[in-house]
Structure 1
Amino acid sequence: MTIREETEAIERQTLSRYATLSENSLGRRVPLEPDPIRPCFQRDRDRILHCKAFRRLKQKTQVFLSPEGDHYRTRLTHTLEVSQIARTISRALRLNEDLTEAIALGHDLGHTPFGHAGERALNRLCPGGFSHYRQSLRVVDYLERDGQGLDLTWEVRNGIVTHTSGAWARTPEGCVVRRADHIAFLNHDIEDAITAGVLDARQLPPEAVAVLGHTKSERITTMITDLVAHSGNGKINFSPEVEAAYAVLKDFMYATVYVDKEAKREEKKVDKLISELYARLCDEPALMPNFYMQIAYNEGVDRAVTDYISGMSDEFATRLFEELFVPQKWKVL
């Protein structure tokens, strides 16, 4: 037996009967020879971890645009936190941790620069709209590796495209990542908002605090513990009490922090920056790299410009805007 086959045998013996076994994967669009060491979902995890889109997450906004300070979340740190929470839940439920981790690491690969402000801008501009979860799937299916894509398994792709809203994933591991994403972004956004002075912890709804806890650690622990205790038969659920407390806390954040004038004062500039870049690149697609020029030829200029802008980091988008629209100093040779 190869090491991979031994690992697959261990999965059969130790994982829950509801877990997604590596050997039962529905496979890839382009079949690959089995790896002698890594089961298929571990292989997917590695492909995501080493791709360019994953590295760009380190310079993409989570909530606060270009914050001054080392301890605010970026899209990369958010992704890692989601991955760890999801792995903890999957291990407790004896689900497939490799599949869970692969979905978690890939779930935000298609996110725009400047967080949800950038996503809203592209959604307004792009014919047919734009959503980061569909773009994440496009990244792994096509945009990575110069148009070859990462050729991930069906289960990982399904978990990525269903991680936000709408239909739930077809695997319990994908459902775990969706819950972990909600646990992570809500609690970490609260911590960042307190650090930024936008929120005082005493403002949090007392009915939610009474159920979930007073600190980030208490709330995350409560939500993970509750989820593990009330999940079963392949379904990943909170108890009604915790689900209700989570909803109260989320509504509070959307009514206060996510619309705070001080925290969001720069977002109008994001709309202007994205709009100007979009219009200019549509008018002059030759400003884009050759790879995106090929997309423009095959799928239309709008599609190419959307792919190009959505893949930018905050820093790159700002620098390109300055190059295209801000007069440069005259240099005397």
Structure 2
Amino acid sequence: MDVAAWIERRRAPYAADPKKSRGRLVAESASPTRTDFQRDRDRVLHSTAFRRLKHKTQVFVYHEGDHYRTRLTHTLEVAQIARSIARALGLDEDLAETIALAHDIGHPPFGHAGERALDGLMEPYGGFDHNAQTLRVLMRLERRYAEFDGLNLTFESLEGVLKHNGPLDAFGAPKAAIADAAERLGAPFAGHASGEAQAAAIADDIAYDAHDVDDGLRARLFVLDDVADAPLLGDILSEVRGRYPALDDHRAGHEVVRRVITRLVEDAIAEGARRIDALAPASLEDVRASAEPVIAFSKPMAEQEREVKRFLRARMYRHPRVDRVMKDAAGIVSDLFGRYFADPSALPADWAREAGMGGETSHARAVADFIAGMTDRYAIDEHRRLFDLTPDLL
């Protein structure tokens, strides 16, 4: 496979074309200076929800250190990688970037710990899922435009978020909020999203595999020698130490992380090129109808990448220090939900009105929407306002 030849290509026939977009839920006149996908990207970047990612946990709570990733820095890294993959494979870079920038907007405070807490609390009311919440933000909760709620993004951008993890029916029936969004969009449960959406999805995996190794080393949850036996990580560490035997561990760690990103990106591009050549898609619809994703890791790399995740799960995500902080953080979310649900007057006035506009399920959903929009520090401040004792998340 001559990957260099792929990189020289422009828009491929199977790429999403903004001129052929299925449009927006509310019709708008075209921009004279931007494509529809560029306009989508700009709307995400200027949204309130995007700015709040600055103080939302990736793994470490914001005040644990200035150099750890937040949801915002993670998102920017995903966007950069998604554009690189899209460019190499002749896809629309702007659409790939839009989906990458939007994909985590629905995350609540305190990362997956906050999500698990809200999902448990919302179980009687349809559950909580950050991907579904992202769609609620993009389609309803951002209220800044005169003629519509949400950002009124194109079908292709919303479909890319909707099918961020693949076809909706791949893991059984989707959650109600996902199904509702699909119905409103007219998006079928079966079938893949665009190649641009697939580029954003694999970029998400690449980014957090690499930066969580970086953050884990920085936090001293493990040391460089601990990765020596891990597939991919150990091989790359051997390369680095072989070429730079006198390099200190700090710089060697950065060199390992840099090479992990390069190795994964290059494999995804080469495997994507191979799959696209085999499928020979003539249109975006051929990509959607494909039996398998057109962008993925090769089989050997996919297994090595899974081993990186296993290493991080054991040595970082389940580390006693991280686990203790996240349990306390989940307690903050649970306390806030209980107080707001029982006493809507504790909410800001506009959210109190929102909570009182329907039955119990609507009331619970409004509370979950409010909490999901919080940054870590706002959630901590609210807990201190409403409760006598707030955990110190250190």
TM-score between the two structures when normalised by the length of structure 2: 0.76
Segments of 4+ in structure 1 off by > 3 A?
A: 164-169, 210-214
Match of 1:268 in 2: 327
Counterpart-to-counterpart distance in 1, 2:192 and 2:105? 17
Unaligned runs of 5+ in 1: 1-12, 328-333
CA contact (8 A) 2:221 2:315 kept: no
The percent of aligned pairs where both chains have the same amino acid is 42
Provide the C-alpha distance between the structure 1 equivalents of 2:351 and 2:166, rounded to a whole number of angstroms: 29
Q: CA deviation at 1:230?
A: 1.1
> What SS does the corresponding residue of 2:64 show, helix, strand or coil?
coil
Q: How does 1:120-199 map to 2 (within 5 A)?
A: 120-126=116-122, 127-145=125-143, 148-164=149-165, 167=168, 169-199=192-222
| CA deviations over 1:171-196 (Å, ceiling 9, x no partner) | 00000000000000111011001000
1:72 alignment partner AA: Y
Q: Which amino acid aligns with 1:74?
A: T
What is aligned with 2:87?
A: 91
Shift of 1:67: 4.5
Paired residue secondary structure (1:14): coil
Deviation at 1:203, TM superposition (A): 1.5
Q: CA deviation at 1:212?
A: 5.8
Q: Which moved more, 1:60-69 or 1:274-283?
A: 60-69
Query: Offset at 1:161?
Result: 2.4
Give the whole-Å Cα distance in 2 for the aligned partners of 1:252 and 1:275: 30
Q: Distance in 1 between matches of 2:149 and 2:211?
A: 35
SS class of match (2:153): coil
Paired residue for 2:386, among 302, 324, 330?
324
Report the secondary structure of 2:44's partner residue: helix
Q: 1:305 to 1:49 in 2, by over 3 A?
A: same
Q: Give, in whole Å, the separation in 1 of the partners of 2:11 and 2:340.
A: 50
- Determine the structure 2 residue equivalent to 1:331: none
Q: Is the 1:20–1:95 Cα contact (8 Å) retained in structure 2?
A: yes
Equivalent residue in structure 2 for 1:105, among 87, 101, 106:
101
Matches within 5 A, 1:37-56: 37-56=33-52
Give matches, 1:17-28, under 5 Å.
Answer: 17-28=13-24
What is the rounded CA distance, in whole Å, between the counterparts of 2:159 and 2:314 in structure 1?
31
Aligned partners of 1:193 and 1:209: how far apart in 2?
13
Q: Deviations over 1:7-38 (max 9, x none)?
A: xxxxxx93011110101111110011011111
Please give the residue correspondences for 1:193-208 in structure 2 after superposition, counting only pairs within 5 Å. Answer: 193-204=216-227, 205-208=229-232
Cα drift, residue 306 of structure 1? 0.3
Cα deviation for residue 206 of structure 1 reads 3.6
Please state if 1:72 is matched with 2:75.
Answer: no
Distance 1:106 1:68 in 2: 25
Matches within 5 A, 1:195-274: 195-204=218-227, 205-209=229-233, 215-232=256-273, 233=276, 234=287, 235-274=294-333
* CA distance in 1 between partners of 2:51 and 2:259 (Å): 31
Range with greater deviation from structure 2 (98-107 or 147-156): 147-156
1:76/1:128 CA distance change after superposition, 3 Å: same
Are 1:212 and 1:245, in contact at CA under 8 Å, matched by a contact in 2? Answer: no
Equivalent position amino acid for 2:95 in 1: L
Does structure 2 retain, via aligned residues, the 8 Å contact 1:211–1:245?
Answer: no
The total of aligned residue pairs comes to 315
Taking the aligned partners of 1:165 and 1:310, their CA distance within structure 2 comes to 24
Give 1:139 deviation, angstroms: 0.3
Distance 1:207 1:66 in 2: 31
Range 307-316 or range 119-128, more displaced: 119-128
Cα distance in structure 2, aligned partners of 1:155 and 1:211: 39
| Cα 1:55/1:24, change in 2 over 3 Å | same
Higher relative contact order (Cα pairs below 8 Å, separated by 6+ residues) = 2
Moved more, 146-155 or 18-27: 146-155
What amino acid maps onto 1:131 in structure 2? D
User: Where does the alignment leave 5 or more consecutive residues of structure 2 unmatched?
Assistant: 1-8, 169-190, 241-255, 277-286, 288-293, 390-394
